[in-house]
């Protein structure tokens, strides 16, 4: 029986980790992010709700994210808010990709990554 639990996991459901996401839904918030980044690192996760790869990367990011990290965390549904996504790229001089994580500090993108590289980004370096 122990072998089956090891192979298939236990029947006890895993508690899902919930991150303190702030939905990014307006152009006005982009200026707020830039301003707040002067005192605290801002993270923007651009996510495509129709993309399996984006969902997988987001799940990995969520499971690995240190909830005690001193950063504000924004979630952008880029399909619903395409204009906001375009302005993020323009404002912070980062070419659009999906999924994508931007690290904003002192009003500029100090790091960004897309796809699997998101989970390799050492966020602690930028706090």
Q: What would the pLDDT profile of 3-21 be if each residue is shown by its tens digit?
A: 445 555 655 555 678 899 9
What is the CB-side half-sphere exposure of residue 87 using CA atoms within 13 A?
Answer: 15
Q: What are the φ/ψ torsions at residue 67 (nearest 5 degrees)?
A: -60, -20
CA distance to 8, 12, 57, per residue, from 15 (Å): 17, 9, 19
Q: Which residue has the tokens 């699997």?
A: 116
Q: What would the pLDDT profile of 68-84 be if each residue is shown by its tens digit?
A: 889 999 999 999 999 99
Q: What is the mean pLDDT of residues 50-67?
A: 92
Q: What is the pTM of this model?
A: 0.85
* Alpha-carbon gap, residue 8 to 33, rounded angstroms: 43
Please choose, from the candidates 92, 111, 97, 73, the residue with its C-alpha nearest in 3D space to the C-alpha of residue 31.
92
Longest CA pairwise span in the chain (Å): 56
Domain 19-126 sits in CATH 3.90.600.10: no
Question: Between 10 and 67, where is the model more confident?
Answer: 67
């Amino acid at each position: 029986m122990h072998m089956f639990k090891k192979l298939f996991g236990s029947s006890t459901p895993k508690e899902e980790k919930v991150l303190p996401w702030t939905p990014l839904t307006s152009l006005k918030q982009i200026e707020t992010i830039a301003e707040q980044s002067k005192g605290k690192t801002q993270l923007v996760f651009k996510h495509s709700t129709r993309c399996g790869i984006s969902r997988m990367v987001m799940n990995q990011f969520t499971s690995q994210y240190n909830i005690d990290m001193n950063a504000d965390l924004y979630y952008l549904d880029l399909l619903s808010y395409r204009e906001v996504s375009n302005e993020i790229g323009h404002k912070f001089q980062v070419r659009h990709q999906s999924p994508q994580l931007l690290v904003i500090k002192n009003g500029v993108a100090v790091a960004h990554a897309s796809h699997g590289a998101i989970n390799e980004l050492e966020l602690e370096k930028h706090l």
